[in-house]
Structure 1
Amino acid sequence: MGLRVNNNIAAFNSYRNLQATDKALNSSLEKLSSGLRINKAADDAAGLVISEGLRSQIGGLTVAARNAQDGVNVAQTADGALGTATTILQRMRDLAVQSSNDTNDSASRAAVQKEITSLTAELDRISEKSSFNGVNLLDGTFAGKVFQVGYANGDTITFDVKSGAAAAATVAAVTEVFVSGATAFDNAAVSAVSSVTISGTTVSFATGGTAASAVEAINANATISANWTASVSGSSLVLTSKVAGNVTDAAVTLGATNIAGTTTQGVRAANAVKLDSFGSGGLGVAAVNLSTQTGAASAITTIDSALATVSSARAGLGALQNRFESVISSVNIAIENLTASESAIRDTDMAAEMTKFTRSQILSQAGTSMLAQANSASQNVLSLLRG
């Protein structure tokens, strides 16, 4: 081999190999320090595409698991509120059974009715105020709510909390007819007569009775009670319409005295019965009246129906809660498996990469030494020149 000084081929070769070794060494350092096999697209273009897709699935499923947990929490919140409603309805049923016994006088039944009124108001409060994150759960509006429980569009569960109230239960407004004037509807006036006629229907009661007993007899009449609910306010008989938008005066005769001419009328807004709500209207117990034996007996059936409605809703919530919990379990398994797949593609095998790094380190040291040797080899030419 000839000795040349213009081009040191051995040095070029050593330098080229040293560059390749240095590149491998830097790549190993990057992978070992980040823990990732793919740090940029150039490391593995196809692997990058696959791993990014897997990351999207994992991220979506992680959020979906939280969404499903929200579903569990909503079901538990609604079930807790309905549990209280069940307790209230059970108490109302006990009162109905108590009042249906004719050993109760009108005063006793009036006291029972006061508690019923209070319990009905609490049912309405629970229905209107039970909420999750500001969203009402039991007022009939929590219907068709969509929970995203997967990473893909359309992977959802629809959530309904409805009582199944009939459309006919909705009342927009009612009419109250106040019967007063020259002939008062009080104890003195009622004790002198034995009947009252309302819109052509006569109700008889014992002479010498009270205004309260007369009202009890009126409300026990099926024909009148189908359209009106009677009560006493001061010395006035108050007839509250049960028919939406009813603005027709009721012709009232107390005994032989026609007092319809002094009737005044006013329409008030009623609390609209929200369809599918778990309030007293939605459960059908708003009109429960335990002031008579007949009304109390009828109330037992009505309250039993309301209890069945609430129990059915709670069973549905329990089933849905179990479904959400199953979703959480399956989603967590999917996250685990997809994470393993993504890790196999994108993460660094630290043991294998450390082996490569050690090899590159040795080659780098050897390459540097050989480059120095190649550069010094051309110094032999000086020996020839010195002669």
Structure 2
Amino acid sequence: MGMQVNTNLAANNTYRNLAATQNDMSKSLEKLSSGLRINRASDDAAGLTVSEGLKSQVGGLTVASRNAQDGISVVQTAEGSLNEVQSILQRVRDLAVQAGNDSNNTDSRTAIGTEVTALSKELTRIAGSTNFNGTQLLDGSKASLSFQVGANGGASSQIQVNLSGANVTNIASAISTGNTGTSFALSTTNALLTTGAQAFTVTEGTATSVVTTTLAGGAGTYKTASDVATALNSDAGFSGKLFASVTYDTTTGAATGINVKSITGGAVATTAPASAGLAAAGTAGAAAALDFSTATGAAAAIGLIDTQIKAVSTARASLGADQNRFESVVKTLAVSTENLTAAGSRIRDTDMASEMVKYTRSSILSQAGTAMLAQANQSNQGVLSLLR
């Protein structure tokens, strides 16, 4: 190899290697100082795409966990109020049992009705005051509530809490006092009903809901008014909105017909069932409520209150199941968040020990390269001796 002055190949080669080493050392410093293996897309394009997706998922799951915890709070608020509603209904039932005794005089039954009225007003207050962050829970304005408990937008990321059975406004209306319901007198000596649809109309607000109940069997199947009332109350469609009880003659004690009350706050129309055995028209009372003025009315009230207690128990059971579900969701989300965070960390975070090894190597090579560049720059000094 000849001796040149204009081109120092050794110095150029050393400089190229030194520049590459310093670039590696700069990247190592960036990773060590930030703690991230991927600081820009050029570090790992595919890894960046995956890690950003995982980051979105982890963020969504974190918020979803808070949503699920809010769901628990909502359910606890509603169920706590329903607990007191059930206590009130139990007290009203006790009063109905007390009113069923003819040892009570008019003043006693009036006092019972006064207490039931006060308890009914308290139910109305509970219905209007039970809310979570301004959302009414027990007044019937919300049939269900939706909670986002997942990171995605699909139905599997949502939980619906059913509040339709927790309508305390209807319960308060159903146990208000002063109502005799709608009575249908027997048109025959016995309730010898033919097979056919027993249709009753329940009017609630501006809507009319026709409840049709079919009593199976031929003539003579239902021999008494009690048979008719039992059959009606056994029908799911009927018992969901109405309650039937037997009416009696206060003098002779003989059954006189059927009394129908709404358990949802509606007024029962005076249209008679389309079947033999009951009178063509009923005698209407006020909107659905309880009557404690007679032993017969109190006995009917007990059955109606039992229906309300059962409805509240069902609603509380549903809310309890929802709370357990929310608690399970919180646990599941915690595990998922932990695992996805670990996955993202393995992709994006710097292995500090491994990167420190690379940095140390680059640092040593940088120092050696600097020293060698100095030597390479001096390698052409020998030419000067030829020029003397």
TM-score by length of 2: 0.69
Does the 8 Å contact 1:226/1:242 carry over to 2?
no
User: Gapped runs of 5+ residues in structure 1?
Assistant: 174-203, 207-220, 228-240, 246-269, 271-280
Q: Do structure 1's residue 320 and structure 2's residue 322 form an aligned pair?
A: yes
Q: Is the 8 A contact 2:36 2:350 kept in 1?
A: yes
Where in structure 2 are the equivalents of 1:295-310 lying within 5 Å? Answer: 295-310=297-312
Conservation of the 8 A alpha-carbon contact between 1:129 and 1:136: yes
Aligned position for 2:79: 79
2:98 is matched with 98
Work out the CA distance in 1 between the residues paired with 2:202 and 2:54: 52
SS in 2 for 1:168: strand
Cα displacement (A) at 1:292 = 2.4
Structure-2 change in CA distance of 1:226 and 1:313 (3 Å):
closer
Alignment deviations for residues 33-62 of structure 1 (CA, whole Å, 9 cap, x no partner) = 111000000000011111111111111111
Residues 145 and 160, structure 1, Cα contact 8 Å, conserved in 2: yes
**AA paired with 2:70?**
D
Alpha-carbon distance in structure 2 between the residues aligned to 1:347 and 1:293 = 79
Residue number in structure 2 paired with 1:170: 204
Hey, what's the Cα distance between the residues in 1 that align with 2:313 and 2:166? 13
1:329 to 324, 328, 331: 331
Instruction: Give CA deviations for 1:122-173 in whole Å, capped at 9, x if unaligned.
Output: 1112122211111111122322432221112212112211128899362459
The residue type paired with residue 104 of structure 1 is: N
Query: Helix, strand or coil for the counterpart of 2:202?
Result: helix
Q: Distance in 1 between matches of 2:134 and 2:269?
A: 31
TM-aligned CA deviation for residue 340 of structure 1? 0.8
SS across alignment from 2:146: strand
Q: Please list, as runs of the form range in 1=range in 2, the aligned pairs for 1:84-163 lying within 5 A after superposition.
A: 84-154=84-154, 155=156, 156-163=158-165
CA offset digits 1:323-361 (Å, max 9, x no partner): 111111111111111111111111000110011111111
Percent identity over the alignment?
57
**1:362 correspondence with 2:367:** no
CA drift of 1:244 comes to 7.5
Aligned to 2:165, what secondary structure does the other structure show? coil
Give, in whole Å, the separation in 1 of the partners of 2:338 and 2:260. Answer: 63
**Segments ≥4 residues shifted beyond 6 Å:** 164-167, 221-227
One-letter amino acid of the structure 2 residue matched with residue 48 of structure 1: L
- Secondary structure of 2:164's aligned partner: coil
Amino acid at match of 1:350: M
Q: Does the C-alpha gap of structure 1 residues 71 and 3 become closer, same or farther in structure 2, counting only changes over 3 Å?
A: same
Equivalent in the alignment of 2:5: 5
SS of equivalent residue, structure 2 residue 78: helix
Aligned to 2:282: none
Map residues 239-250 of structure 1 onto 2, 5 A cutoff.
Answer: none
The amino acid that maps onto 2:204 is T
Q: Secondary structure at the match of 1:7?
A: coil
CA contact (8 A) 1:172 1:244 kept: no
Query: What amino acid is the match of 1:298?
Result: A
Larger radius of gyration: 1
Structure 2 residues without counterparts, runs of 5 or longer? 171-200, 208-248, 271-285
Q: CA–CA distance in 1 between the matches of 2:143 and 2:35?
A: 47
Deviations 1:89-115 (A, max 9, x none): 111111111111112111111111111
Code of the residue aligned with 2:47 in structure 1: it is G
1:33 and 2:33 are equivalent in the alignment: yes
Q: Which residue of 2 aligns with 1:275?
A: none
CA–CA distance in structure 1, aligned partners of residues 151 and 370 of structure 2 = 53
Distance between the aligned counterparts of 1:291 and 1:367, measured in 2? 108
1:383 has 2:377 as partner = no
Paired amino acid for 1:106:
T
Which residue in the other structure is 1:339 paired with? 341
1:223: Cα distance to partner? 8.6
2:202 maps to a residue whose letter is A
With the length of structure 1 as denominator, give the TM-score of the two structures: 0.70
Q: Does 1:289 align with 2:323?
A: no
Is the contact made by 1:171 and 1:244 (CA closer than 8 Å) also made in structure 2? no
Deviation at 1:313, TM superposition (A): 0.5
Quote the RMSD (CA, aligned, Å).
2.9
Instruction: State the Cα distance separating 1:205 from its structure 2 match.
Output: 10
For the residues of structure 2 that align with 1:224 and 1:78, how far apart are their CA atoms? Answer: 36
Distance 1:148 1:380 in 2: 80
Distance 1:107 1:355, change over 3 A: same
Q: Relative to structure 1, is the Cα distance of residues 140 and 5 closer, same or farther in structure 2, using a 3 angstrom cutoff?
A: same
1:291 to partner: Cα distance? 2.8
Does the 8 Å CA contact 2:82/2:166 hold for their aligned counterparts? Answer: no
Counterpart Cα distance in 2 of 1:38 and 1:335:
21
